[in-house]
Chains A and B, each alone.
Chain A
């Protein structure tokens, strides 16, 4: 993962096309996030979050709340820090040696970077689905059962059977795989593999699910299934999704956050962002004027 993370913060290609863009970029540091970054029923809250890779600062002073049972999408051009931000939410950045996170990230009011926080437990509470489906080289059953077994969540085989079935059902995959649970997960199609990964994530009953471009390797049908699933999952979980597809953000999320060069530029209701964004940069990005 370190390589991918470092790619994310590589400085953008230095070809600012217009003076207007250049001026906007200079102004960013002085600006505050526009829109409504805070909400009442916050599941996770970030206050003054900064992320550094060595000397290089990747995220600047981010303040935002993520509401309970909310789907929030993070959009922005490549290298804007949205994946870095996502990874800091369950301390995936700990795996990058040079990475340093400052500020507060609270999960139910508890700072996840405090020394008291058990990282394994944190990652069970804040699960993650990656860009490329990455099932374990094990059977479909074991892919789902792995987490619960690791965390000692069940005692009997029958309980495990139930958990595997209910997880696969919630991931919308049960009917397609129920007759071949002993076959390898890697033998499934891309879209099925991604739903298997989602089943694996929800098997350990997380509270928050982070999704890093979960559909970018999938075809439109598989994408539609995952998007449908995100809507259903939001009834029980809080979901943070990073996506390059603006249409996807518009379809699945309640709120949308726009990142630009490590700054959180705008957070608003998705409807507002895609019809009448407040910030000029958000407008420019979602209408395809740069990016």
Chain B
């Protein structure tokens, strides 16, 4: 059972509803990709205007989460879905939560961007941030792409990337701690970069969770905590 046929129900309305659910989640994913990108750019370029914009979009994401979740509840009540339909709805309901958390992390990054632009930029850490940020953005993009195509293989290939991000994050933390010991005056500014890095690393975790949901959705296998 590798192929999904979500569009072949006898009930055309059910087809439409499921298709709409998919469209909504991809729409939300697209918005989050932009939020993360904007937040990271705002840090790098000390652009508090862009950071502010990220903060303003956050409530939209929260309400998207609620709407999509309601839609899932309604579909369960109305259709009593089974098999791939059920997995689709469960996967969407969990993915939406991860996406909303990614939104929260983007929010944190944007707040750090504002602080960094007010307190002056950190003397170190931008290179690490760019490196890890690029990786995590790619993970998120690939995750949403795999969702769009119901591609379990592609989703599975994203999962190990999270390990790499975790390692990169740990080594960046070690390096920045060393730097702070050498130059205690920079501690508060370097800490801001550290919080930002932590938020980016968390986004990687959420992207990984989304990929695990895609594998469940397509293959019916629960791979959480196994890879």
- Which residues from chain A sit less than 8 Å from chain B, CB to CB? 18, 246-247, 250, 274-280, 282-284, 286-291
In the bound assembly, the distance between CA atoms of A290 and B11 in angstroms comes to 10
Q: Mark interface residues in B69-94 (1 if CB within 8 Å of A CB, else 0).
A: 00000000001111111110000000
> Would A287 and B81 be within 8 Å (CB), given that A274-B86, A275-B220 are in contact?
yes
**Is B8 interfacial (CB-CB < 8 Å)?**
yes
In the complex, which residues of chain B have a beta carbon less than 8 angstroms from the beta carbon of A250?
A: 82
Output the residue of B11, B81, B84, B219 with the most chain A CB within 10 A: B84
Q: Closest chain A residue to B14 by CB distance? A: A288
| Secondary structure class of chain B's binding surface, majority of residues | loop
Further 7 A-B residue pairs, CB within 8 A, beyond A274-B83, A275-B86, A288-B9: A18-B8, A275-B87, A280-B3, A283-B84, A284-B5, A287-B9, A287-B82
CA A276 to CA B1, docked complex, whole Å = 8
A278 to B10, CA, bound (A): 21
Interface residues of B (CB under 8 A from A): 1, 3, 5, 8-11, 14, 79-87, 219-221
Given contact pairs A246-B82, A247-B80, A276-B83, A288 touches B10 in the complex (Cβ within 8 A): yes
Chain A nearest CB from B16 CB (Å) reads: 14
Residues in A whose Cβ lies below 8 Å from that of B87: 275-276
Tell me which residues across on chain B come within 8 A of A277, comparing CB atoms.
1, 83
Q: Give Cα A274 to B36, complex, Å.
A: 37
Minimum Cβ distance to chain B for residue A154 (Å):
45
Q: Decide if A286 touches B1 in the complex (CB within 8 Å).
A: no
**Closest partner residue, chain A, to B88 (CB atom):** A287
B4 to chain A, nearest CB (A): 9
A252: min CB distance to chain B, Å? 15
Task: Determine the residue in chain A with the shortest Cβ distance to B4.
Answer: A283
- Chain A residues, CB < 8 A from B84: 283, 287
Top 9 closest pairs, chain A to chain B, by CB: A276-B220, A286-B82, A289-B8, A274-B82, A287-B85, A283-B83, A287-B83, A288-B9, A277-B83
Contact of A288 among B3, B11, B219, B221 (CB under 8 A): B11
User: Contact: B1 with A289, CB < 8 Å?
Assistant: no
B14 contacts across to A, CB distance below 8 A: 288
In the complex, A288→B169 CA distance in Å? Answer: 47
Partner of B9, one of A246, A280, A282, A289: A289
In Å, the complex CA distance between A118 and B84 comes to 46
Q: In chain A, what residue has the closest Cβ to B10?
A: A288
Closest A residue, CB atoms, query B219: A276
B3, B5, B221: the one within 8 Å of A289 (CB): B5
Q: Nearest chain A CB to B214's CB is how many angstroms away?
A: 14
Docked Cα-Cα span, A250 to B81, in Å, equals: 11
Verify A275–B9 contact, CB threshold 8 A: no
Q: Cβ of B9: which chain A residues have Cβ within 8 Å of it?
A: 287-289
**Which A residues touch B86, using CB under 8 A?**
274-275
Q: A287-B81, A287-B84 are in contact. Are A278 and B1 (CB under 8 A)?
A: yes
> What distance in Å separates the Cβ of A269 from its nearest Cβ neighbour in chain B?
13
A283 near B1 (CB under 8 angstroms)? yes
Q: Which of B11, B82, B85, B87 is the most central at the interface, judged by chain A CB atoms within 10 Å of its CB?
A: B82
Q: How far is the CB of A56 from chain B (nearest CB, A)?
A: 27
Bound together, the chains give a CA A280 to CA B221 distance in angstroms of 16
30 pairs, CB–CB < 8 Å, chain A vs chain B: A18-B8, A246-B80, A246-B82, A250-B82, A274-B82, A274-B83, A275-B82, A275-B220, A276-B83, A276-B87, A276-B219, A276-B220, A277-B83, A278-B1, A279-B1, A280-B1, A283-B1, A283-B83, A283-B84, A284-B8, A286-B83, A287-B9, A287-B83, A287-B85, A288-B10, A288-B79, A289-B8, A289-B9, A289-B10, A290-B10
- Report Cα–Cα, A286/B83, bound state, in Å: 7
Determine the distance from Cα of A278 to Cα of B14 in the docked complex, in whole angstroms: 22
